[in-house]
Amino acid sequence: MRLRRAIASIAETTGARPLGWSSRYGASLHTRELLAEEGGFAYDADSYNDDLPVWTEAGGRPHLVVPGTLANSDLKFETGMTGSPRDFELHLKAAFDRLYKEGAARPRMMPVALHLRLSGHPGRTRALANFIRYAKSFPDVWFARRIDIANHWTARHPAAARAETE
Amino acid sequence: MDSPATAIAGPPRDLRGYGGTPPDVTWPGGARIAISLVVNYEEGSEPAVGDGDPEPERALSEVPYTHWPAGRRDLAMESMYEYGARAGFWRLMDIFDELDVKATFYACAVALERNRKAARLIGERGHDMMCHGWRWEDVALLSREEEREHIRLAVASLTETTGARPLGWYCRARPSVHTRELVAEEGGFLYDSDAYNDDLPYWTEVHGKPHLVVPYSLVNNDGGFGNGAFGSPESFAEHLRYTFDQLYEEGATQPRMMNVGLHMRVVGQPARAQALHDFIAYAKSFPGVWFARRIDIARHWMAHHPA
């Protein structure tokens, strides 16, 4: 019921229905099933367990998961696990450095999780801007919307193909 | 006086240790410092409602300790733990290979039962494995009999999944008053690491017989990311560099041991893995540095500094 209300509300306020889903912190035991039953979702982000999208099953059908992150997340400011804006900036740069290096052989995905009320404060916004400029200074970096990642994955790495290789 | 006599069971405390005059340590190759990289392989054996535990694990994740209703699975927490086994393990293995260093895996038996490919790879890549319990559990909450049985189960399981029995033991952070006795009574362990009280191995006694302890560290440990001790990957690397610099300096006259405690779900995150990589590369740039598996340190101590 709440899922339906959320879809209807966002469709009305933004002019388009949502194609992806992310729960607050984590999903319930039912969330993924409910998304599959509802239909219309290309993927969900209710997972923190990988560096790449993964296919799973929901309601007996393939279901795409594009993992999120609580590590590259401004949530760390709230919990005291990151001290200064510079700490956050260094974290993001280090994550980028590692994944960029690994990406030479095996391209990766780097999620960055932001909250308006946390990263929207000027000092932290500056750290974020510094990171974005840093990442943009390298070739072969794709700043992607999650729907673009999901669509790419569905086209290039469809669920059936994956099943065949296993 | 020594620790006061009480009716409470367990090992006596020793607050003097080497008393400022440690033995003349001669690490292989005349090394000034032995660095023990320790990877805690816990993911899959932590308390989980799906495994019949009343509450899910709350510790050492990307979020602070928060209350969670009993009896309900925490899918987000399960997922954060899964990251360690699915992504972090492979990232750390690659870094160790790239920099040509060997590490020690503190392995929880049930965790390796759930990832047998990883269980085999640890030994194949030249790392060693210590027993980190049957599951990642607080042994102090078990009865003596239960604890004994869990140690037996763990040894049998690890022997089967990795192909060799564990020779060292480390509990989940907090041993019970029975743990060391039980480890000694089991009979196949050469040493344990249930101590944080020195920079060098030392001998103690269990039932009147010598027992080797290779102390561990919760200070040089990525657990500091979980409690705010390390704000950024750089502050973790800086802590490790400062520790190394101090011990390396001391090691010119009195060789030392440096522990680095790691968790796949924590330091296996790309940003932190990069910091670990940079520290290892830093330490490797000095002469007289021995990246040692714990079994090598234990065997060296038994051979050169017998009880």
Cβ neighbours of B120 (radius 10 Å): 14
Distance from CA of B228 to the nearest CA of A (A): 4
Give ipTM to 2 decimals: 0.93
Block residue for tokens 């569905």: A154
State pLDDT tens for residues B107-150.
999 999 999 999 999 999 999 999 999 999 999 999 999 999 99
How much is the pLDDT for B6? 57
Strands A61-65 and A54-58: antiparallel
Question: Which of A28, A80, A84 lies closest to B228 in CB terms?
Answer: A80
Span B279-306, average pLDDT: 98
- CB of A91 less than 8 A from some CB of B: yes
Q: Chain A to chain B, count of Cβ pairs less than 8 Å apart?
A: 108
Do the Cβ atoms of B271 and A87 come within 8 Å?
no
Question: Which of B62, B82, B87 lies closest to A70 in CB terms?
Answer: B62
How much is the pLDDT for A164? 47
Domains and CATH numbers, chain B: 28-47+73-304 (3.20.20.370)
Instruction: Tell me if residue B135 falls in helix, strand or coil.
Output: coil
- Report residue A151 CA to chain centroid gap: 13
3-state helix, strand, coil in chain A (%, to 5): 50, 10, 40
State pLDDT tens for residues A99-134.
999 999 999 999 999 999 999 999 999 999 999 999
Structure tokens at A103: 């990406």
Question: Would you place residue A160 in the very low, low, confident or very high pLDDT band (cuts 50, 70, 90)?
Answer: confident
Q: CA B168, CA B288: separation in Å to the nearest integer?
A: 26
Q: CA B30, CA B42: separation in Å to the nearest integer?
A: 34
Question: Would you place residue A165 in the very low, low, confident or very high pLDDT band (cuts 50, 70, 90)?
Answer: very low
Contact present, B240 and B289 (Cβ < 8 Å)? no
Question: Would you place residue A166 in the very low, low, confident or very high pLDDT band (cuts 50, 70, 90)?
Answer: very low
Mean pLDDT score across all residues of chain A:
94
pTM of the model: 0.95
What's the burial of A12, exposed, middle or buried (CB within 10 Å: 0-12/13-18/19+)? exposed
Question: Would you place residue A84 in the very low, low, confident or very high pLDDT band (cuts 50, 70, 90)?
Answer: very high
Mean pLDDT score across all residues of chain B:
95
Strands B128-131 and A61-65: unpaired
Block residue for tokens 């895996």: B105
How much is the pLDDT for A162? 55
Q: CA B18, CA A66: separation in Å to the nearest integer?
A: 54
Which residue from B130, B121, B127, B128 is spatially nearest to B100, judged by alpha carbons?
B127
Distance from CA of A15 to the nearest CA of B (A): 30
